[in-house]
């Protein structure tokens, strides 16, 4: 009797485990194309993507070797494409004409950014997006098929922007890697106590004004060239 009970328990446990795996797989298939608020992160490591905003170029590699190069549109100076290393955490289809037929969402901490198609093909090869990476629709469909969730995306450049131009002025409401860098510097100096998430909110403004007062600067809550200098970010 004891052996029979153990056997029944093992069979029941196996059945539950198989059911759980099947349900997880079904949910995973459904969520792979779900809204970006429900991402699935899976580190594949086979493919990688590199984006060079100044060259308007996106390169996809397989096992480190260049597979294909595409011409893309990137962010304008006031809404730059976020420099850094990210992952594709969401994939979607037909989200609207502005996004073209495909969307690949990135895990940028301060906003919703991704690689997508466009209904403005004339923008390809220019700095005309709001920070996202635009591709020709046929190209983004091709990229979408090749790249799994978890694919690493490296966007090259300087966090403070084009080295031939001064960094942009920043104020409450702005977002970006430059904001995150400012928060990090203010936090290191003991002025900012929040999360360095790249979102310029009132807490960042308060910290910045205190820093400005201590440095005998106008406490207007705006990151100007003088503030960049005082923070040691530019010479």
What does DSSP say about strands 133-134 and 113-116: parallel, antiparallel, or unpaired?
Answer: parallel
Distance CA 10, CA 234 (A): 66
Catalytic residue among 36, 116, 127, 196: 116
Given the residues 36, 56, 127, 132, the one annotated as active site: 132
Concerning whether 116 is annotated as a catalytic residue, the answer is: yes
Q: How many helices (H) and strands (E) does the chain have?
A: 5, 10
What whole-number distance in Å separates Cα of residue 210 and Cα of residue 216? 10
Give the residues across from 129 on adjacent strands: 75
To the query of whether residue 132 is one of the catalytic residues in this protein, the response is: yes
Q: How far apart are CA 130 and CA 24, in angstroms?
A: 36
Q: How many CB atoms sit inside 10 A of residue 124's CB?
A: 17
Catalytic residues: 116, 132
């Amino acid at each position: 009797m004891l052996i029979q009970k153990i056997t029944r328990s093992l069979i029941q446990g196996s059945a539950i485990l198989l059911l759980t795996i099947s349900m997880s797989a079904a949910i995973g298939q459904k969520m792979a194309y779900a809204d970006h608020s429900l991402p699935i992160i899976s580190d594949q490591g086979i493919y990688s993507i590199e984006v060079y905003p100044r060259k308007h170029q996106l390169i996809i590699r397989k096992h480190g070797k260049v597979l294909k190069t595409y011409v893309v549109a990137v962010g304008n100076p006031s809404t730059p494409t976020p420099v850094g290393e990210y992952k594709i955490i969401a994939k979607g289809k037909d989200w609207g004409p502005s996004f073209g037929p495909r969307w690949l969402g990135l895990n940028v901490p301060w906003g919703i950014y991704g690689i997508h198609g466009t209904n403005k093909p004339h923008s390809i090869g220019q700095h005309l997006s709001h920070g996202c990476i635009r591709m020709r629709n046929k190209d983004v469909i091709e990229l979408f098929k090749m790249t799994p969730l978890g694919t690493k995306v490296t966007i090259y450049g300087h966090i403070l922007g084009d080295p031939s131009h001064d960094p942009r002025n920043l104020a409450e409401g702005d977002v970006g890697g430059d904001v995150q860098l400012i928060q990090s510097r203010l936090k290191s100096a003991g002025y900012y106590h929040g999360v360095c998430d790249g979102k310029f909110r009132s807490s960042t403004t308060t910290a910045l004004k205190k820093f400005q007062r201590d440095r005998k600067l106008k406490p207007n809550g705006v990151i100007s060239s003088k503030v960049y200098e005082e923070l040691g970010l530019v010479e």
